[in-house]
Structure 1
Amino acid sequence: MWILLKNKQFTKLFLGKIASNIGDSMYAIAAMWLVYELSHSAFYTGLAGFLTKIPHVFQFLAGPFIDRWSLRKTLMITQVCQIILVLIIPIAHYTGNLHVWIVLIIMPIISCIQQFSYPAQTVALPKLLKKDELIKGNSLFSFANQGIDMTFNGIAGILINMVGAITIYLLDSIVFTVAFLLFWSMPVLKANGKEKKEKQKLTEVFKKYGEDLREGFQYVFQSIISKFFIATIIANFSFGIALAVMPIYADFRGGSAIYGFLMGAFSAGFLIGALLSSLARAFPLGKTMIITYMFSAAFWISSAFLPWDVPAVILYGISLIPLGATQVLLAATGQRIIPDSLLARVFSVISSVSSTAMPIGFLMGGTLGSVLGGQLVFAIGGLGMLSISFVWFIISDLRRIPRVKDIHPEIYGLRKSIN
């Protein structure tokens, strides 16, 4: 897997993603904890999650742009925007104007920017790697996501205790600058060649944009990908409920440091799963989803009621290992059956549709947390894992999905390519 780093352009993209993820990880912990610190309300933490996740629902709108824009410019501009936005919070703090609503306004704006940044990074992979290297490339990307989150979520929690959340924002501006410089050094990621240099009428631009969106939705809903949504919508609703009360649940167990460790365990589970994805691909994907997610539900729910903090955090991390492994496998599956020209559009549609329930889950979690408390509502989140296992079991097309290497576009994708 690490042999891919001999590819200099991939290495720059990978390091840029790591830097960007460091900034995102530390920012996410600081932002949610700052909302809780300023409000001491489960409702506001739920509202913060809702506002952050709403842009994910509309990620499909970004897909056609990413397919046509220069990936290099897209990645550079997103980092500059994040640098500016994260600096607003320290400025408001030091001028005595910081209020919870300022944090709540900035959170969804940054989330909107990420709807361009993350798909652009994913779309860049097939341009830099061979098809038989994609699983390894996705595994490394998942490492960048979850490994960095695991490490820097915990570090952020400790730093909040030591120097406060405001300092995290200042550090983020530096990290995003490093990511900008790495993406700037990648001239190989030029525009995709589809954009027309001659001036077009506004009506023609919107017409073509609508056609691009329709192609993305058409591909998704004419392939087996559409059946993935039933499970993920239910699961994301449950995840939203649990994450909404995570600061309150962490405060119940010990404070901001525990919050960082819980989010670190969340990422650790993903990371371990991603590293094990090469082993998991040897088994039929359908059966793997059913069996592993059943155990995940049991581990998650049990962790909520353990009286000891350290074992509870560890068990919670273990419950998320299947999610990390199958995320890599599902991404590789999509990249195998989706034409390169549609990658951004299709992945944006997938992300948007599967994310629809999470914002609602955040609002529900915040409301329930105000009544039931963080511990019980956090345990309810484990039902999301059980729902995945159940849905993949009852839908025969999902249950019978073979190993990733045996999945072919002729069977699981569109039978006729879209031009």
Structure 2
Amino acid sequence: MFRLLTHPSFLFLLLGRVVTNIGDSLYYVASMWLVFELSHNPFYTGLAGFLILVPKVLQFLIGPLVDRWRVKPILISTQVLQAVLLMTIPIAYYLDAVHVSFLLCIMPLLACIEEFAYPAQTKTLPLLLKKEDLLHANSLFAIAYQGIDLILNSLGAILVASFGAIFVFWIDSITFVIAALCFSLVKIPRRKLDQDDVKEKQSSIKRYVIELREGFHVVLHSLLWVFTIGSLLANFTIGMTLAILPSFSDQIGGVGTYGFLLTAISAGSLMGAFLGPVLGRFRIGSTAILCFTLGGLCWIVAGWMTSPILICLLFGVAWIPVGAVNILFAGLIQAAVPHEILGRTTSITYSISVSAMPIGSLVGGSLANYLGSSFIFSFSGIGLILISFVWLLHPQLRQLSTQDTIDASVLKLPPTSTPPSPVVN
């Protein structure tokens, strides 16, 4: 795996990804806490979460665009734009012009740019490496993503507590400049467009619409739509939790606790990712029901604890089954869905599933003023248990066997007619 680090372009791409992750982690901790610090109202943190999450709902529209554009300009420009936008926050602070409304305008812009950045980084890998190296490369990227989150969520909270959110934004903007420099050193091979590619590009808009429509048809006329129902319920309550987390943390310990709770999410998800291949040996239906039930119970109990240490510990344990089942679902879909529609299918299911998070964020922030952040935090664990009920009540999901037995017929995928689109760089 680590021999890939001797590949100069891959190394600079990975370094850029690491630095980008550092910037994203620091930004999320600092921005959400600053919104709460300026307003002392969970409604505004809920609104901030809503504005950050809404662009993720539109990812199914962005994916095909990234497929058709040159990736290196995307890699560099997204980092530069994020750096410039972040610099406006400390500048506005020194001009005494930082208000909640100002932050709420900046946050969705940064979120939209980020939705272009990560697909472009992922798309670059097969342009640099041989097919047999992609698994190891993706592993290194995953380690970078989860590992950075695990460390920086706590470190970001410590920096905010020690030096203030404005100082963190300065560091943040510098990280994106460094990431842009790393990406500028990536040498991406280019291939010439042949005549067929030119014709395909000329009809790309029509093809884009056809492929998008077919992707929705596949999702809505198979068992995949039942997957999205469970995900909608869970993501709604997760959105509620992320919205009230700064307020809840302030009640039990302050910004440091906020960082530890975010770290618990990353740590639990990372541990679950390691357990995913082990759980894949068992029946998927039974495993999903058990995992989500245990995770939901740990989450609910965490909300009624008084010790910050126990709260963080139980909250982290609740995310272990979430991380494990996410790996199982990803493998299941990759194994069963035909390759020519896999990109559309995964982006559409993701967009539908995540659409409940911004709504949950808005609802959670609003209800916290009446019901209290502690109640919302504990109540959100019910979302995982609801997924268990969906799987328990649906006979075909409940009876799903091991991953190696799953194919398109098991998921009742309808036939497709459009051929795969060529990749142009």
The CA distance in 1 between the partners of 2:26 and 2:408, in whole Å, is: 39
1:266-285 matches, within 5 Å, as 266-285=265-284
Match status 1:207 vs 2:219? no
The CA distance in 2 between the partners of 1:173 and 1:86, in whole Å, is: 6
Give the conservation status (yes or no) of the 8 Å contact 2:18–2:144.
Answer: yes
**1:294-316 per-position Cα deviation (integer Å, ceiling 9, x unaligned):** 10011111111112111211111
The CA distance in 2 between the partners of 1:5 and 1:224, in whole Å, is: 40
| Residue ranges of structure 1 left out of the alignment (5+ in a row) | none
Match status 1:98 vs 2:98? yes
The CA distance in 2 between the partners of 1:56 and 1:192, in whole Å, is: 33
Q: Secondary structure at the match of 2:418?
A: coil
Q: CA deviation at 1:147?
A: 2.3
Note closer, same or farther for the CA distance 1:212–1:155 as it changes in structure 2 (3 Å cut).
same
Note closer, same or farther for the CA distance 1:344–1:94 as it changes in structure 2 (3 Å cut).
farther
1:102-251 matches, within 5 Å, as 102-124=102-124, 140-188=140-188, 206-251=205-250
* Structure 1 stretch displaced more, 2-11 or 235-244: 2-11
Normalised by the size of structure 1, how large is the TM-score? 0.89
The CA distance in 1 between the partners of 2:400 and 2:156, in whole Å, is: 40
Match of 1:365 in 2: 364
The CA distance in 2 between the partners of 1:334 and 1:77, in whole Å, is: 32
Note closer, same or farther for the CA distance 1:13–1:392 as it changes in structure 2 (3 Å cut).
farther
Q: CA deviation at 1:414?
A: 5.0
* Structure 1 stretch displaced more, 297-306 or 341-350: 341-350
Q: Secondary structure at the match of 1:61?
A: helix
Match of 2:423 in 1: none
Equivalent AA in structure 1 for residue 95 of structure 2: T
Give the conservation status (yes or no) of the 8 Å contact 2:127–2:188.
Answer: no
Note closer, same or farther for the CA distance 1:400–1:191 as it changes in structure 2 (3 Å cut).
farther
Give the conservation status (yes or no) of the 8 Å contact 2:9–2:187.
Answer: no
Q: CA RMSD in A?
A: 3.0
Q: CA deviation at 1:123?
A: 4.5
The CA distance in 2 between the partners of 1:192 and 1:254, in whole Å, is: 58
Note closer, same or farther for the CA distance 1:250–1:153 as it changes in structure 2 (3 Å cut).
same
Give the conservation status (yes or no) of the 8 Å contact 2:9–2:185.
Answer: no
Equivalent AA in structure 2 for residue 186 of structure 1: V
The CA distance in 2 between the partners of 1:103 and 1:35, in whole Å, is: 7
Note closer, same or farther for the CA distance 1:16–1:394 as it changes in structure 2 (3 Å cut).
farther
Q: CA deviation at 1:353?
A: 0.5
Q: CA deviation at 1:26?
A: 0.9
The CA distance in 2 between the partners of 1:200 and 1:104, in whole Å, is: 37
Match status 1:312 vs 2:311? yes
Identity over the aligned pairs, expressed in percent? 41
The CA distance in 1 between the partners of 2:212 and 2:139, in whole Å, is: 28
Q: CA deviation at 1:130?
A: 7.7
Normalised by the size of structure 2, how large is the TM-score? 0.88
Which structure: larger Rg? 2
Give the conservation status (yes or no) of the 8 Å contact 1:30–1:165.
Answer: yes
Equivalent AA in structure 1 for residue 387 of structure 2: I
Equivalent AA in structure 1 for residue 359 of structure 2: I
The CA distance in 1 between the partners of 2:118 and 2:338, in whole Å, is: 19
Match of 1:37 in 2: 37
**1:29-59 per-position Cα deviation (integer Å, ceiling 9, x unaligned):** 1110010111111111111111111112222
Q: Secondary structure at the match of 2:154?
A: helix
Match of 2:351 in 1: 352
Match status 1:334 vs 2:321? no
Note closer, same or farther for the CA distance 1:164–1:153 as it changes in structure 2 (3 Å cut).
same
Q: CA deviation at 1:326?
A: 2.1
Equivalent AA in structure 1 for residue 395 of structure 2: S
Q: CA deviation at 1:229?
A: 0.4
Equivalent AA in structure 1 for residue 388 of structure 2: S
Q: CA deviation at 1:227?
A: 2.2
Note closer, same or farther for the CA distance 1:174–1:362 as it changes in structure 2 (3 Å cut).
same
1:390-409 matches, within 5 Å, as 390-409=389-408
Q: Secondary structure at the match of 2:400?
A: coil
Give the conservation status (yes or no) of the 8 Å contact 1:240–1:359.
Answer: yes
The CA distance in 2 between the partners of 1:126 and 1:335, in whole Å, is: 17
Give the conservation status (yes or no) of the 8 Å contact 1:238–1:361.
Answer: yes
Note closer, same or farther for the CA distance 1:357–1:18 as it changes in structure 2 (3 Å cut).
same
Note closer, same or farther for the CA distance 1:280–1:126 as it changes in structure 2 (3 Å cut).
farther
Give the conservation status (yes or no) of the 8 Å contact 2:337–2:407.
Answer: no
**1:204-252 per-position Cα deviation (integer Å, ceiling 9, x unaligned):** 6543332232233233334433221000001111111111110110000
Q: CA deviation at 1:381?
A: 1.1
Q: CA deviation at 1:369?
A: 0.6
Give the conservation status (yes or no) of the 8 Å contact 1:72–1:189.
Answer: no
Q: Secondary structure at the match of 2:281?
A: coil
Q: CA deviation at 1:140?
A: 4.6
Aligned residues: 417
The CA distance in 2 between the partners of 1:253 and 1:114, in whole Å, is: 32
| Residue ranges of structure 2 left out of the alignment (5+ in a row) | 420-425
Give the conservation status (yes or no) of the 8 Å contact 1:39–1:100.
Answer: yes
Give the conservation status (yes or no) of the 8 Å contact 2:75–2:183.
Answer: yes
Give the conservation status (yes or no) of the 8 Å contact 2:211–2:418.
Answer: no
Q: Secondary structure at the match of 2:377?
A: helix
Give the conservation status (yes or no) of the 8 Å contact 1:68–1:191.
Answer: no
The CA distance in 2 between the partners of 1:74 and 1:230, in whole Å, is: 33
